[in-house]
Amino acid sequence: MVYKSVVRNVLFRMHGGDAERIHETTLRALSLVSPVAAKVRRKPAAERTVFGVRFPNPVGLAAGLDKNGRALPAWGALGFGFVEVGTVTRHPQPGNPKPRLFRLRDSEAIINRMGFNNDGALELANRLDRLGPLSVPLGISLGKSKVTPVEEAVEDYRASLRALYRHGDYFAVNISSPNTPGLRSLQDRGALTELLSALDETSGELAGSGRRKPLLVKIAPDLTDQAIAEVLEVCAAHGVAGLIATNTTLSRDGLAPADQAKAAEAGGLSGRPLAVRAREVVRFVSRETDGKLPVIGVGGIFGPDDAKAMLDAGASLVQVYTGFIYEGPGMVRRIVKSLV
């Protein structure tokens, strides 16, 4: 209540309401308290093992909020059971021109066209080297560099996987962001087969005689059921350990009247309007695979009821991003407490 009535109002008015500058200020503050946060250890609650990884609780921070891993110890201290950094690319890149992040407050949504702005795979690896072990599992989302042609995307992903393999507990193959030209074409059967085959081979080489790190595929909510079924067939053929459903959407359905003016902004929509479609995709995947392929459900989770609905749809774990922005850190603890 204090967050929503006081803290959030203050945050949303900072820097003239510039959403990206507010994001950066908040992330900088969290990075400053991270040395202290690293000493905080929360007891496991509703813990579970999914694709061979033990999670102290099933609520994770989605990729995109802490792209470069600047505040990693803070997330575990705030109650998250795992954290996903990135999306990271082989080459450092500034992302798309600003402004590129927009709050749709009445709809409890966000539109972003960030364009994978990040410091690059090697810099993230160096930062993780300096940081040392974390209190919760770490996922790393991998994407294609904008300067890399789509036909050369495979080596781009492989280079990032090699640079970061020792650090991740799992790796998410992001082929579904709407903000990198040509990226979503990698969801097509032929391109996805080539990419996953190469990453599976690279993972085997890097693992040596040890256990391979789980590879997950992150899909768009805008795919048809037939397209999702094809993705699942390719995943099954190449040892994919799980799916992340879903990324942001190009749809503008479900927006409040006050937010219609911002609907024309290019980019992916996340938040409350995505909840129903995200659950539909999770339910479809669970049904198509007889519940045998673990799914991380993400999209429109704002509290315990949303998280439970996602888990009931077939998700093994959930992730939050936009809900965390609107509801604050207390939301994570409320969800975990409800699942216990």
In angstroms, rounded to a whole number, what is the distance separating the alpha carbons of residues 77 and 80? 7
In angstroms, rounded to a whole number, what is the distance separating the alpha carbons of residues 335 and 322? 15
Tell me if 87 is assigned to a ligand binding site.
Answer: yes
In angstroms, rounded to a whole number, what is the distance separating the alpha carbons of residues 240 and 67? 23
Tell me if 218 is assigned to a ligand binding site.
Answer: yes
Chain position carrying tokens 């059967």: 189
Collapsing DSSP states into helix, strand and coil, what is residue 48? Answer: strand
Task: Report the first-to-last Cα separation within the chain, whole angstroms.
Answer: 22
Tell me if 3 is assigned to a ligand binding site.
Answer: no
Q: Are 317 and 58 in contact (CB under 8 A)?
A: yes
Tell me if 146 is assigned to a ligand binding site.
Answer: no
Tell me if 289 is assigned to a ligand binding site.
Answer: no
Tell me if 66 is assigned to a ligand binding site.
Answer: yes
Collapsing DSSP states into helix, strand and coil, what is residue 104? Answer: strand
Q: Are 313 and 290 in contact (CB under 8 A)?
A: no
Task: List all residues 6 or more positions away from 289 whose beta carbon is below 8 Å from its beta carbon.
Answer: 232, 236
Tell me if 300 is assigned to a ligand binding site.
Answer: yes
Specify the DSSP class assigned to residue 6: I
Tell me if 118 is assigned to a ligand binding site.
Answer: no
Nearest to 316 by CA among 65, 46, 43: 46
In angstroms, rounded to a whole number, what is the distance separating the alpha carbons of residues 337 and 327? 16
Tell me if 239 is assigned to a ligand binding site.
Answer: no
Residue 77 has which token pair? Answer: 């201290």
Tell me if 174 is assigned to a ligand binding site.
Answer: yes
| 60, burial (CB in 10 Å: exposed 0-12, middle 13-18, buried 19+) | buried
Catalytic residue among 176, 177, 203, 270: 177
The verdict on whether 251 is a catalytic residue reads no
In angstroms, rounded to a whole number, what is the distance separating the alpha carbons of residues 294 and 320? 17
Tell me if 303 is assigned to a ligand binding site.
Answer: no
In angstroms, rounded to a whole number, what is the distance separating the alpha carbons of residues 207 and 230? 28
Tell me if 322 is assigned to a ligand binding site.
Answer: yes
Tell me if 247 is assigned to a ligand binding site.
Answer: yes
Tell me if 114 is assigned to a ligand binding site.
Answer: yes
Tell me which amino acid residue 116 is: F
Q: What does residue 101 show for φ and ψ, rounded to 5 degrees?
A: -140, 125
Tell me if 126 is assigned to a ligand binding site.
Answer: no
* Residues annotated as part of the active site: 177
Known binding residues for FMN? 63-67, 87, 141, 174, 218, 246, 271, 300, 321-322
Annotated binding site for substrate: 67, 112-116, 174, 179, 247-248
Annotated binding site: 63-67, 87, 112-116, 141, 174, 179, 218, 246-248, 271, 300, 321-322
